[in-house]
Structure 1
Amino acid sequence: MELVGVRSELARTIDLRATIIYKDREPNMHVILQRIQLFVTLLLVIGSPMVACASEPITVVYGHGRAWLMDLTITGQTQLEKGDLEAAQRSLDTVLKADPAFYPAYYVRARVFLNRGKFQEAIQDCNEALRKDSTFAEASLLRAKANYDLGRYGESLKEIDHVITIRPRRDAFARAYRDRARLRLNCPDQSYRNGQQAVKDATTACKLIDWKDEDMIDILATAYAEVGEFDSAVRYEEKALAIKGVKPDDSKRLQAHLDSFKQHRPLHAR
């Protein structure tokens, strides 16, 4: 997603999918608010991006004269989205060298590490972000993804379970249920698979975002196919395809799933 700046309203959009309100404290303690809506792309998790959902704010307070740190963090985010991972890491390294407490930069750099296949480094940056804000559910879910990619399925599941337990902002809450459903469907270790639990989790995720995300509905359809309920799988896959604004590549993927379910074939070989 392209970075959008609306300077007249002191608002910017960056791809993290949470709302962060940055408070810049002036020397006279007059507070200026900069609203930043962050929408998480699923570069960090398995699957396609989901639509933006309303979020409650996370608040980060920084002193006067440090706005350049946020500007450079946004630059790093933009570089990440354009695929320039080395430049993104340089930008974020600069931010964190200047201010090791600027935790949003740890989160964005963790995404860079994840995309570079440096999963342990991604986990370390998520750890740092979570030390600064233990309620930063997005960092917890990213750490779960990194552990999954390292084959630490138990740790990944435990992290997702924790996010669900703390009941974060609704959009993060939905992603946690979605991620647990995905793990129950896709985990290479068969002992973690559970189609019925995946149906329950995917249903909860869809309800939390008011059935407006094609990726979550697709996961629900896939879960129904896994447990042999192909009529439900077809119905929900058609619902996913009916969502407005589905990208062409995603539409092809969903259509392929629908064709499979109509032939009573789940996505995974039994």
Structure 2
Amino acid sequence: MATRIAARSSRSFRVPLRRIVIGVPLLIVLARCNRQDLPAGNPPPFPDVSGLESAVVDRIIDRRNAVVNELRSAAAWGRLGAALEVHEFVAEAIICYDRAAELAPDDFRWPYFAGCALLQSDPGRATDLLQRAVRLNPTYLPARIRLADALLSAGQVIDADRHYRESLRLDPNNAHVHLGLSRSALINRDIAACLAHLREAERLDPNDREVHTLLAAVHRQRGEESAAAIAEARAAALPPGGSIHDPVRDELTKEGVGSEWQLRRGGAYAAAADHEKALLEYRQALAVKPDSAIHQFLVGTELAVLGRDDEAIKHLQRAVELRTAYSQARHHLALLFAKIGRAQDAYTQWELVLADEPGNVEALVGLGTFLVRRGRFTNAVGYLERAVQLKPADAETHYQLASAHAGAGNAAAAELEIERTLELAPTHIGALTHRGLIQLRAGNATEAIATFQQAVRFHPTDAAAFNYLGMGYAAARRCTEAATAFRDGLEKQAEDVDLTNNLAWLLATSQRPECRDGETAVRLAQRLCEKTMYQSPRFLDTLAAAYAETGRFDKAMSYAEQAIVIVEQDSAQRGYLNELQSRRELYRARKPLRHD
């Protein structure tokens, strides 16, 4: 038997497969392979498969038998190589790829697959194989990028730079290529070129951790400590770097079988937001290992994403039964309990996590955010401040802490956390709109409008960004631009109730006659009231103002009265009740409402 090499071939196959003893008798396996009946010549390799899942053994045997039946088929040898590689039999896979390359010397895939498989265990030979693959197919970008990366790692900067520049010609918008060029420029001490390529890479892929890590190093080399700290913080908040988009290499994943490969494919589907397919893969893996806490957890999380909360809770509860100290499962269970209104159960799950792991940032942020939504702002501040101390580079945690401070009445602390959020994540929609609202409340409508315009640029489909922009224009008494902002938002999100209500209110109550349109306001407000069964005092208030604008004051008084009856039942809305009563009297006097 050939010795098994545990080296990983590429970033596509970096998760180790766990062996599961299944009791497949090796004698039966060998008999099925008919090794004594092989034709003359070099036989295809057969590794030690004892201890593997039956699905993996069957796949390797099937692919090997196909080679035995067609010893001169490059495709059969290549498929066997792929089946061996994805199940971590790298040495045996290389034998197959080499034989496929002998049989089909013009097919770039075989030296390419072999080169990728050897990148970590034998980088010198891997580079030679990748060069051969690029000569055979000079326009296949992933092969050229991998070759350039390998050359740069080997210190062959000139050759690496040449291949990166050819890659850039093939795809000028490839972030990985710009990152490679920035590295070669840094080695050549061309800091200006390095920064130019890094900024382009950041523009093309702002969530690439490696880009921000290298930016931090370059800024620090230039003595720019503040910029370096910001880049480091952004890098720390991002997951490890992504893989190269490689359709040819990705074909190998189809050879992966067994529960571990079902988990991998499920993870890939989940990352691509194809949650139905992810759930299917995870369920198949769970069928093989029903007592696996991780399998129960993964099925539960996908069900939660799909909105199947009751099923998700059952699987997550099973996960924590199987592994009591499974903090991640408890955290997700708490999130689900919070979502469906089981507040005490949610609180209990988070407390259990924190009892075992006082520094669990996920639980601290989850519980803190939960308390903010329940109006317990002072308690929330304590949890979120601990989370920020433990993970100072997480923008979302700073934003939640800002919300807690704002709710607790500490405006200065809230503003400070908003600015910290935007240092770490300049496009954070919540922080941008919060900053704009702070500016608006301070009477700085022009600054607020600029901030809201930024939010719209960064988030062109976000209803809240357009809504706040419209509010900013309205506060500046620029009603035409306000109406345009609300309408632009409704083009993106036609059913958004805030945009609809604010547009109706503007059309009904604007001080400027050219901005008023009572009939349109009535139509918009009626639609909102119908949606809410005429139980929303806010929408009833808008409908009353719209009818007053059209001169139908009896209807205006009627809807104002309905809003008053609803609000009278809520002592927390006493101030709003006074407003509604004043408006009703205005309509009784047969006067429309005019509002700044």
Provide the TM-score with structure 2 as the length reference.
0.33
Q: Does 1:238 align with 2:561?
A: yes
Q: Distance in 2 between matches of 1:216 and 1:140?
A: 19
Q: Is the 8 A contact 1:85 1:116 kept in 2?
A: no
1:175 aligns with 2:498: yes
- Say whether the 8 Å CA contact 2:470–2:482 is kept in structure 1: yes
Over 3 Å counting, the alpha-carbon distance change for 1:69 and 1:235 in structure 2 is same
1:137 aligned onto 2:460: no
Mapped contact 2:511–2:594 kept (Cα < 8 A) = no
Partner of 1:158: 484
How many Å separate the matches in 2 of 1:151 and 1:259? Answer: 26
Show the counterpart of 2:334.
9
State the match for 1:21 in structure 2.
none
With over 3 angstroms needed to count, the CA separation of the structure-2 counterparts of 1:225 and 1:154, relative to structure 1, is: closer
User: Could you tell me how far apart the structure 1 residues matched to 2:366 and 2:446 are?
Assistant: 32
The answer to which structure has the higher helix fraction is: 2
Partner secondary structure for residue 405 of structure 2: helix
* SS in structure 1 at match of 2:570: coil
Q: Write the distance in 2 (CA, Å) between the matches of 1:189 and 1:263.
A: 21
Match of 1:118 among 429, 444, 448: 444
Which whole-Å CA distance do the structure 2 matches of 1:154 and 1:34 have between them? 41
Task: Give the CA deviation at 1:151.
Answer: 2.9
CA distance in 1 between partners of 2:474 and 2:500 (Å): 15
Q: 1:199 aligns with which of 519, 522, 528?
A: 522
Higher strand proportion (structure 1 or 2): 1
Q: Distance in 2 between matches of 1:82 and 1:118?
A: 24
Which amino acid in the other structure matches residue 194 of structure 1?
A: D
Match of 2:48 in 1: none
Count of residues in correspondence between the two structures: 219
Query: How far apart in 2 are the matches of 1:222 and 1:252?
Result: 16
Query: Over the residues paired in the alignment, what is the CA RMSD in angstroms?
Result: 3.4
In the alignment, which of 383, 388, 396 is matched to residue 70 of structure 1? 396
Q: 1:236: Cα distance to partner? A: 0.8
User: Quick one: structure 1 residues 127 and 230, their matched pair in 2 at CA, closer, same or farther if it must change by over 3 Å?
Assistant: closer
Matches of 1:98 and 1:218 in 2, distance apart?
40
1:216 equivalenced with 2:539 (yes/no): yes
Contact 1:110 1:123 in 2 (8 A): yes
Task: Specify which of 570, 575, 596 is matched with residue 249 of structure 1.
Answer: 575
Aligned to 1:54: none
* In 1: Cα distance, 2:591 partner to 2:553 partner: 8
Contact 1:174/1:206 (8 A) holds in 2: no
Distance of aligned partners of 1:97 and 1:242 in 2 relative to their CA distance in 1, 3 Å threshold: same
Which residue of 507, 510, 515 maps to 1:187?
Answer: 510
Question: Once the 2 structures are TM-superposed, how far is the Cα of residue 196 of structure 1 from its aligned partner?
Answer: 2.1
Contact 1:175 1:205 (8 Å CA) reproduced: no
Does structure 1 conserve the Cα–Cα contact (< 8 Å) formed by 2:509 and 2:549? no
2:435 maps to 109
Deviation digits for residues 103-149 of structure 1, max 9, x if unmatched?
A: 32212222212211222332333233333332211111101111222
Say if 1:109 and 1:125, in contact at 8 Å, map to a contact too.
yes
Change (3 A) 1:240 1:150: same
The structural deviation recorded for 1:83 is: 5.1
SS at match of 1:228: coil
Return the letter of the residue paired with 2:531.
Answer: L
Compared CA separation, residues 209 and 134, structure 1 to 2 (3 A) = farther
Distance 1:221 1:102, change over 3 A: closer
Does the CA contact (< 8 Å) of 2:463 and 2:493 recur in 1?
Answer: no
For residues 181 and 200 of structure 1, the distance between their equivalents in structure 2, rounded to whole angstroms, comes to 8
Change (3 A) 1:268 1:108: closer
Cα distance in 1 for residues equivalent to 2:533 and 2:460: 27
Q: Deviation of residue 10 (structure 1)?
A: 4.0
Deviations 1:217-236 (A, max 9, x none): 01211221222212211221
Q: Which amino acid aligns with 2:500?
A: Y
The amino acid of 1:156's aligned partner reads: A
- Match in the other structure for 1:260: 586
CA change 1:115–1:84 in 2 (3 A) is farther
Aligned equivalents of 2:460, 2:579: Cα separation in 1: 36
| 1:104 to 1:83, Cα distance in 2 relative to 1, 3 A | same
- The 1:135–1:66 alpha-carbon spacing in structure 2 relative to 1, beyond 3 Å, is farther
Q: For CA contacts below 8 A with separation 6 or more, give which structure has more relative contact order.
A: 1
Q: CA deviation at 1:258?
A: 2.1
- Quick check: 1:177–1:204 contact (8 Å CA) kept in 2? no
Opposite residue 130 of structure 1, the aligned amino acid is V
- Determine if contact 1:174/1:208 at 8 Å carries over to the other structure: no
Alignment deviations for residues 171-225 of structure 1 (CA, whole Å, 9 cap, x no partner)? xx22212111221123232211122222122212222333232122012112212
Map 1:80-119 to 2 at 5 A: 80-81=406-407, 84-119=410-445
Distance in 2, Cα, partners of 1:93 & 1:163: 26
Say if 1:124 and 1:206 are closer, same or farther in 2 by CA, change over 3 A.
same
- Paired amino acid for 1:206: C
How far does residue 255 in structure 1 lie from its aligned partner after superposition? 1.9
Comparing 101-110 with 247-256, greater Cα deviation is found at 101-110
> What is the CA–CA distance in structure 1 between the aligned matches of 2:428 and 2:593, rounded to whole Å?
42
Name structure 1 gaps, 5 residues minimum. 1-6, 14-30, 40-64
TM-score when scaled to structure 1? 0.68
